[in-house]
């Protein structure tokens, strides 16, 4: 099976859950009200600026590596790891700004500069999980209960029941050729490698 194009982790937070309680009334107002504020963006507008891109610094990468080595020594199941298990003290302010942007801003941030070619696939998953733990709580994102998804072309027919768009035999849309993870949200924030 080919390596994943990227990974997804769907997150929830108290703020997002309380802002959008799932009731029939709220769904009607969402569908009939125009989106306003920073979450109302167009791709063409974003093509001309880069405020939505975060680049990892070399010290940040060193801190990510240290956190990775720490959790590898513990040999715990990925889903049991929490924010405190993947310490990123020098990144904390940046991650808080990113979480705020995901919750109250345009709803996504692309994170660049993670050199995935130096990690094995299971290490990359640990890193994505660790970073995501600083942004929210992972929740099931599909009918199989997956908390982290490998986005890869499985050659499946998009018309078949239960097939997600990234499992089809054609190239997924909206991916970067850059091998780095963006965090996306709010409906399905993702950490991704493309």
pLDDT tens track for 99-108: 999 888 988 8
Residue 101's closest CA among 18, 177, 30, 41?
A: 41
CB neighbour burial string for 97-128, b if at least 16 within 10 angstroms, e if fewer: ebbebbbebbbbbbbbbbebeebeeebbbbbb
Residue 154's closest CA among 166, 145, 142, 144?
A: 166
**pLDDT for 83:** 93
- pLDDT classification of 58: cutoffs 50, 70, 90: very high
- If you count them, how many residues does the chain have? 194
Residue 16's closest CA among 146, 187, 139?
A: 187
Q: Indicate yes or no: pTM above 0.95.
A: no
Is it the case that residue 191 has pLDDT exceeding 60? Answer: no
Is it the case that residue 38 has pLDDT exceeding 60? Answer: yes
- Does the N-terminal peptide bond of residue 186 adopt cis geometry, omega within 30 degrees of 0? yes
**pLDDT for 75:** 85
> What kind and span of H or E run contains 111?
strand 108-112
Mean pLDDT of the chain: 75
Tally of helices (H runs) and strands (E runs) in the chain: 6, 7
pLDDT digits (tens, 9 = 90+) for 87-146: 999 999 999 999 999 888 988 898 999 998 999 988 998 999 999 999 988 887 777 777
**pLDDT for 7:** 59
**pLDDT for 60:** 96
d(CA 31, CA 21): 14
Is it the case that residue 181 has pLDDT exceeding 80? Answer: no
Is it the case that residue 170 has pLDDT exceeding 80? Answer: no
More confident residue, 88 or 34: 88
d(CA 36, CA 164): 29
**pLDDT for 64:** 97
């Amino acid at each position: 099976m080919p390596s994943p194009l990227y990974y997804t982790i769907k997150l929830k937070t108290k703020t997002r859950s309380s802002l959008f309680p799932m009731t029939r009334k709220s769904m009607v107002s969402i569908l009939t009200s125009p989106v306003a504020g920073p979450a109302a963006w167009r791709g063409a507008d974003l093509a001309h600026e880069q405020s939505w891109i975060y680049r990892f610094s070399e010290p940040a990468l060193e801190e990510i590596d240290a956190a990775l080595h720490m959790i590898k020594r513990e040999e715990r199941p990925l889903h049991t790891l929490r924010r405190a298990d993947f310490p990123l003290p020098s990144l904390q302010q940046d991650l808080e700004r990113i979480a705020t942007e995901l919750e109250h801003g345009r709803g996504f941030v692309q994170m660049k500069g993670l050199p995935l070619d130096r990690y094995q696939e299971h290490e990359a998953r640990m890193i994505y999980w660790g970073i995501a733990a600083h942004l929210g709580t992972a929740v099931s994102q599909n009918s199989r209960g997956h908390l982290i998804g490998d986005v890869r072309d499985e050659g499946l027919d998009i018309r078949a029941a239960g097939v997600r768009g990234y499992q089809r035999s054609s190239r997924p849309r909206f991916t970067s050729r850059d091998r780095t993870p963006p965090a996306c949200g709010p409906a399905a924030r993702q950490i991704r490698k493309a």
